[in-house]
Structure 1
């Protein structure tokens, strides 16, 4: 179980700070601080830092092996974010789908792509024991 006194940290490249802020704030992520070369977000309780490196952008991203995201423990939270993404016309890399249908590890998932081609996965497992 996660301890509340710890925050996961992830650093990723971005190509433009303004469009990065717009994208992550539209997801509900709070802009914690911004400098000339990076912006730090409260990404659903964890820390994501987008460093300005337009020369480091993956022009042809693939879901595997590199992506990051959030696993919701409540189905309503997953459904709410999916509805928000649709309402705001956020760019999907992979439309909503069910993975491992009929198996214990069955889960609902979708992938968004941020302005720097970083892939974000959001998912919900029907069986909470399959989260880890």
Structure 2
């Protein structure tokens, strides 16, 4: 089992680091940890996302199978992020929807898209036991 003192790490392509900085830090509210000529390292909701400068990114992104994000335990935090995304006009790939309605795994979800076509999914399960 993961010790919560440890941090999950994900590396993603970024076509332009200034665009990535604007999206993740200025709009989404992530904390910049480090910046180098070829990458930026971010505190992404308590985990580490590294945006590596690359021209090898999805030209036509699809939700499945490749995306990443956060599953919230707290509905208020989920709602606040959704409101922030709307207020700051962060681009949505797919607006909020309800998945698996009426089933135990019912959850709310929305997808954002960053300037390099990386898809970010944010979820909230009505039954916390379904998070995994």
TM-score when normalising by structure 1: 0.97
* Matching residue of 1:82: 82
Q: Cα distance, 1:6 vs. partner?
A: 1.1
* Matching residue of 1:94: 94
Q: Cα distance, 1:57 vs. partner?
A: 1.4
* Matching residue of 2:62: 62
* Matching residue of 2:110: 110
1:43, 1:92 → 2: CA distance? 18
Q: Secondary structure at the match of 2:82?
A: helix
Q: Cα distance, 1:2 vs. partner?
A: 4.6
Superposition CA RMSD, Å: 0.9
2:4, 2:13 → 1: CA distance? 27
1:35, 1:3 → 2: CA distance? 29
* Matching residue of 1:49: 50
Q: Secondary structure at the match of 1:63?
A: coil
- Which structure 1 residue ranges, 5 or more long, are not aligned? none
Q: Cα distance, 1:5 vs. partner?
A: 1.9
- Which structure 2 residue ranges, 5 or more long, are not aligned? none
Q: Cα distance, 1:28 vs. partner?
A: 1.3
1:74, 1:105 → 2: CA distance? 16
* Matching residue of 1:16: 16
* Residues 103-129 of structure 1: CA deviation (Å, up to 9, x unaligned): 000000000000000000000000000
